[in-house]
Amino acid sequence: MAAAVVLLLLTIATARPLAAQEMPRVQVFGGYSYTRYDTQSFGFSNSTGLNGYAFSPAYNIIRGFGVVAELSGQYKTNLNLRDLAVGPQFVYPRGNMMFFGHLLIGDARSLVQAGGPQEDTSRVVAVGGGLDYAISPRFAVRAFQVDYLHTTLFSSTQKNFRFSTGLVYRWGSIKKTHRTLAPNP
Amino acid sequence: MILNKRTALLGGMVALAWLAGCGGSGSSSGNIPSAGGNAYVAVPEANAVASYRVSSGSGNLKAVLGSPFSGGTSPISIVVHPSGKFVYTANQGGSDVSLFTVNSNTGELKEVLPRTPAGLNPTSLAMDSGGDLLFVANQTSNTVSVYTVSSSDGSLKESAGSPFPTGSRPVALALSPSGKFLYVASSNLPLVFGYSVASGTGSLLAVPGSPFTVGNGPSSLAVTPSEHFLYVTNFIDNTVSGLSIDSTSGTLTAALDSPFASGTGPISVTVDPAGKYLYVTNISSNNVSAYTIDASTGATTALTSPFAAGTRPVSATLDPAGAFLYVCNQNSKNITKFQINQDTGGLPSSVVATTLQLAPASLVFAK
């Protein structure tokens, strides 16, 4: 984990600046995710940390607004949490940085080994955001993405938190349009 | 400017006063919060043990995921090792004792096989405060089995001389808090048998004068924390016998004003951790009778009671803090939680703490 953070910081520090005002049409993120699963809600003595992956393609319809889908899974011995969700995303570019926020709705599924395998599915609502840092015209580093995930698994309500980081592949662009004054007749 | 400062000061004083008045749950005078922890319930019809987390403060019960956990045939009595790592049940149907290990993280219980043989139809368990000895009353074989307990894995080894013969149809056991004396209720006879317990092995030796006369149909026993008094519910007579315990010999003598009236069908008795209050569960009248205890004479005074429980309450247990009384209701298949007023011993309010699919028999808390 520490090595990944150092590599991320080095990548950002040596990145070549991009032209300002550009926003990608399509983004595909893939990387590592860590979830603080609210297992206390169904009888564990504490919340449980799970490690896994996150994958999310996004399509920006207009500058600053698009749609995103997410597939993620986090695991531990005898325990996992997976979700598939979609929703709007809001994007704010600033130089090489791109801030984003999203609201996702979908399904979550969890398997717990307790007195035999216990599996359940529930609706998931995820609210979160983060920061991408462009390192080339096609690639950006997702410095961080944090999400709050609300689930209702095993007849209980969970308040889960997730952190993700990784690489974003981007293509297409939505240029910022500039107003021009009409010439004097 | 001056007006703003005064307003701010007044607002701050009001806020401070409000904060000072906040007393957590806003409970009424005399109530104390639950310490939380874990609780376990024997469910005979499910051949299983249910595991719960106890909310600190409210004392509410929440079943852990996967509960109930399978065990022996018809578990009727349950105890927890003082370490909280092991749970034991007396299995009436299997004539054996089950050992469960406790997963402290998930709350899951896992039975360790094979089970330990006991006498025929074991009905009651008692464990000493150190978790070194386990006692089992065997109702059909008229014996008491004694086991030493391994602190590392909770396994049981029958002591030399066990099982020890006792009265006819022993249905209940009570061990004095020091572990020096064991008392056994013989349901067929109006008698309580008393034994001194040998340190280490747990071998039983009848105390002078044993057995001791009580009412008809003794069904349950409880020793006060001071070890001065023993109380016995007499199911047939609808009374409770109070007896003084000789601290040296363990001999019992009738306490002042004993026996005293209970509800109909007294089946379970328990004393609060401070030794001030006594609670009797009455299975036929579906309620709980409450009494204060005179610390010097053992005489009891009935409180304005009884307090309504569920249908056919079969057992009552106090949480370790003495904040709540939990009653297992056989026919209504639930557990009633009574708030205890620490000043009076009364039970001012009650709620259903949890509902089960099958009848609960007994509940125990891990300390």
Which residue would you say has higher pLDDT here, A173 or A178? A173
Measured in Å, how far apart are chain B's first and last C-alpha atoms? 58
Q: How far is the alpha carbon of B92 from chain A, nearest alpha carbon, in Å?
A: 23
Alpha-carbon distance of B181 to B198, in angstroms, equals 9
Domain ranges within chain A, ordered by starting residue: 27-173
B202 and B133 Cβ atoms separated by less than 8 Å:
yes
Long-range contacts of B340-345 (CB under 8 A, 24+ apart): B340/B31, B340/B272, B340/B277, B341/B28, B341/B30, B341/B31, B342/B30, B342/B31, B342/B32, B343/B29, B343/B30, B344/B30, B344/B303, B345/B272, B345/B276, B345/B277, B345/B290, B345/B291, B345/B292, B345/B303
A159-179 as b/e: b if 16+ CB within 10 A: ebebbbbbbbebeebbeeeee
In this structure, what is the dihedral angle of CA atoms B16, B21, B25, B28, given to the nearest 10 degrees? 180
| pLDDT score, position B7 | 52
Would you state the structure tokens that stand for residue A76, as one six-digit string? Answer: 């531990």
The range of the structural domain enclosing residue B289 comes to 166-308
Q: Can the peptide bond before residue B163 be classed as cis, meaning omega within 30 degrees of 0?
A: yes
In a domain, residue B315? The reply is no
Mean pLDDT lowest among A19-28, A109-118, A137-146, B298-307:
A19-28
Alpha-carbon distance of B188 to B197, in angstroms, equals 24
Longest dimension (CA), chain B: 89
Q: Report residue A43's pLDDT band, with 50, 70 and 90 as the boundaries.
A: very high
B354 and B337 Cβ atoms separated by less than 8 Å:
no
A46/B62 touch (CB, cutoff 8 Å), yes or no = no
In A, minimum Cα distance to B109 occurs at A115
| pLDDT score, position B296 | 94
| pLDDT score, position A40 | 94
Mean pLDDT lowest among A153-157, A163-167, A177-181, B196-200:
A177-181
Share of chain B above pLDDT 90, in %: 86
In a domain, residue B338? The reply is no
Most confident range (mean pLDDT) of A14-28, A157-171, B348-362 is A157-171
In a domain, residue B81? The reply is no
A112/B65 touch (CB, cutoff 8 Å), yes or no = yes
Most confident range (mean pLDDT) of A14-23, A119-128, B33-42 is A119-128
Which residue would you say has higher pLDDT here, B171 or A174? B171
Alpha-carbon distance of B245 to B210, in angstroms, equals 12
Phi-psi region of B361 (alpha: psi -120 to 50; beta: other; left: phi over 0): alpha
| pLDDT score, position B273 | 94
Consecutive H or E run containing B83: none
- Full 3-state SS string of B214-229: CCCCEEEEEECCCCCE
Alpha-carbon distance of A134 to A143, in angstroms, equals 10
ipTM of the complex: 0.78
In a domain, residue B177? The reply is yes
| pLDDT score, position A180 | 57
Give me the CATH number covering residue B264.
2.130.10.10
B65/A114 touch (CB, cutoff 8 Å), yes or no = yes
In a domain, residue B181? The reply is yes
- How large is the average pLDDT for residues A151-161? 97
Place of tokens 């983060």: A130
Assign A49 to helix, strand or coil: strand
In a domain, residue B156? The reply is no
The answer to whether A81 contacts chain B (CB < 8 Å) is: no
| pLDDT score, position B22 | 39
Mean of the per-residue pLDDT values for chain A?
Answer: 89
Total number of domains constituting chain B: 1
Mean of the per-residue pLDDT values for chain B?
Answer: 91
What is the DSSP annotation of A63-88? TTEEEEEEEEEEEETTEEEEEEEEEE
Q: Which residues pair with A57 in a beta bridge?
A: A28
In a domain, residue B209? The reply is yes
B66/A46 touch (CB, cutoff 8 Å), yes or no = no
> Which residue ranges of chain B lie beneath pLDDT 50?
1-3, 8, 11-12, 14-28
Q: Report residue A115's pLDDT band, with 50, 70 and 90 as the boundaries.
A: confident
DSSP 8-state assignment for residue B294: -
In a domain, residue B15? The reply is no
Q: Give A156: exposed, middle or buried? Use CB within 10 Å, 0-12, 13-18, 19+.
A: middle
The answer to whether A115 contacts chain B (CB < 8 Å) is: yes
| pLDDT score, position B109 | 97
Residues of chain A positioned with their CB less than 8 A from the CB of B62: 43
DSSP 8-state assignment for residue A157: -
Of 1.10.3720.10, 2.40.160.20, 3.30.565.10, 3.30.70.360, the CATH number of A27-173 is: 2.40.160.20
Question: What does the pLDDT look like over B36-63, one tens digit per residue?
Answer: 899 999 999 999 999 999 998 899 999 9
- How large is the average pLDDT for residues A60-80? 95
